[in-house]
Amino acid sequence: MKTGLFSIGLDTYWPQFDGLLDNLTAYHEQIGARLKEMDTELVDAGMVDSPEKAQDAAKLFKTEDVDIIFLFISTYALSSTVLPVVQKAKVPIVMLNIQPVAQLDYAKFNAIGDRGIMTGKWLEHCQSCSLPELANVFNRCGIDYHIVSGYLQEDYVWDEINDWVKASEVAVLMRQNRVGILGHYYNGMLDVYSDLTQQSAVFGTHFEILEMCELYELRQAVNEDEIQSKITEFHHKFSVAQACDESELVRAAKTSVALDKLIEKHKLGSMAYYYEGSGEYGDIVTSIIAGNTLLTGNGVPIAGECEIKNVQAMKIMDLFGVGGSFSEFYLADYSDDVIYLGHDGPAHFAISEGEVGLVPLSVYHGKPGKGLSIQMTVKHGPVTVLSVVTNREGKVFLQACEGESVAGPILQIGNTNSRYKFPMGARNFMNEWSRGGPSHHCAVGLGHIASSLEKLSAILGIEFRQLR
């Protein structure tokens, strides 16, 4: 990802106030150094203090194809030095209204005595002066912008900037993501059906339609060494129940190896799947959970029931580094005021509380066949629930709520399931979450990242709905 940075000032000031430009440049360099620490390639246009330099900065950012631009308001500057840059770049712009200090030492300042020196010192702290002017011009020009206000040594400021960088990176990676679609929708789940064109329009995603026969052919070519290696991986990543029959482990391992090859062949970053078949195809779909769980925990989220919108949510969570386990609503506990969320099929094993169980199931509820399944609970502590939602106008938006994964009894049914507390309580959460109109699936990730998701929504130009 490439991040643009430029500062603005007024060239009239430099001959009037000795040292002002040098001090402002030093602050600019501090910001640039911190941005480089955020694992981004910095494109630095330096100090833009005239309309001519604005044209040069605009050309630089356009040529370098930056993904986001940070504008440091170093002192008062004319809006005419900014508008050409953002008009040409056409990428998200974050204005940094950042002072050198939280509070000026007024007594020390007034003791300087020389009003010329004092004016120069004040202009060094005059970041706020230009902010309303720039906002006014951006509003009138129809240019979206974002603001971070504070001071250089403040954690809040750097947390905000880091969130913007990370959200921009996620947007870039979503544009580069290739989503596989294997099989077909679960028949009758009207909420799950997705408009792939609209998903591509919002996220830039490429969708690769896959055939079961291709996975079958890859599976037929799997050799014994590959099977044994995969079974070893199962035992390393999962707590394999003694009740798991060896033939089921072999069956799941063979499918897992084929899945890995399918993902690699098509360079997929995520996949949604569902299939109901018999014979060899039925053998594949009833042995797919373990392999898909390994993929999900290793950065390639897999969603069952061909839930394309939700695999998008899972990928977003995974790119933010917080997991993103496939979930739906299991039941409400009104005595403990918690909601149970879980799902059969693949889970995000990297965010498990304790061991991830690989267990046998005599029946896959609502689906044909039987085989191995995953039993796990999401790590206790702060979590965020996310859904990618399509409204009645066909517009895509993100819906999220922050809560807690809490300890307590879970359902030992060979599925993922966890207990969650939400700030508005179980009853109100269910009502308000449902009113947003998501599908019955969602993605659960660790930590409270609603602020980051809101920034991602702003970068993508879509609505963000947060339950509080």
Residues 192 and 59 in one domain: no
Same domain, 91 and 46: yes
Instruction: Identify the domain boundary among 155, 174, 193.
Output: 174
State which of 174, 193, 227 marks the end of a domain.
174
Which pLDDT tens digits describe the chain residue by residue (468 residues)?
999 999 999 999 999 999 999 999 999 999 999 999 999 999 999 999 999 999 999 999 999 999 999 999 999 999 999 999 999 999 999 999 999 999 999 999 999 989 999 999 999 999 999 999 999 999 999 999 999 999 999 999 999 999 999 999 999 999 999 999 999 999 999 999 999 999 999 999 999 999 999 999 999 999 999 999 999 999 999 999 999 999 999 999 999 999 999 999 999 999 999 999 888 999 999 999 999 999 999 999 999 999 999 999 999 999 999 999 999 999 999 999 999 999 998 999 999 999 999 999 999 988 989 999 999 999 999 999 999 999 999 999 999 999 999 999 999 999 999 999 999 999 999 999 999 999 999 999 999 999 999 999 999 999 999 999
What are the backbone dihedrals phi and psi of residue 372, each rounded to the nearest 5 degrees, phi first? -90, 150
Across-strand partners of 206?
178
The range of the structural domain enclosing residue 32 comes to 2-174
* Residue that is last in its domain, among 174, 196, 216: 174
Are 210 and 250 found together in one domain? yes
Identify whether residues 146 and 183 lie together within a single domain: no
- Shared-domain flag, residues 158 and 213: no
Residues 170 and 298 occupy one common structural domain: no
CATH number, domain containing residue 449 = 3.20.14
Q: Which residue has the tokens 């991986």?
A: 233
188 shares its domain with 163: no
* pLDDT on residue 345: 87
Tokens of 71: 């504008």
Cα-based angle 468, 173, 198 (whole degrees, multiple of 5)? 70
45: closest CA among 30, 63, 57, 31? 57
Same domain, 143 and 195: no
Pairing between β-strand 323-333 and β-strand 2-8 as defined by DSSP bridges: unpaired
Asked if residue 426 and residue 293 are part of one domain, the reply reads yes
pTM: 0.94
On whether both 160 and 281 belong to a single domain, the answer is no
Strand partners, 99: 151
CATH number for position 59: 3.40.50.10940
The answer to whether residues 268 and 153 belong to one domain is no
- Do 246 and 231 lie in one domain? The reply is yes
Token representation of residue 232: 């070893």
Total of domains in the chain: 2
Dihedral of alpha carbons 461, 463, 467, 468, sign: positive
Q: Would you state the structure tokens that stand for residue 405, as one six-digit string?
A: 């994964």
Which pLDDT value is given to residue 108? 93
Cα angle value 343/345/349 (rounded, 5°)? 85
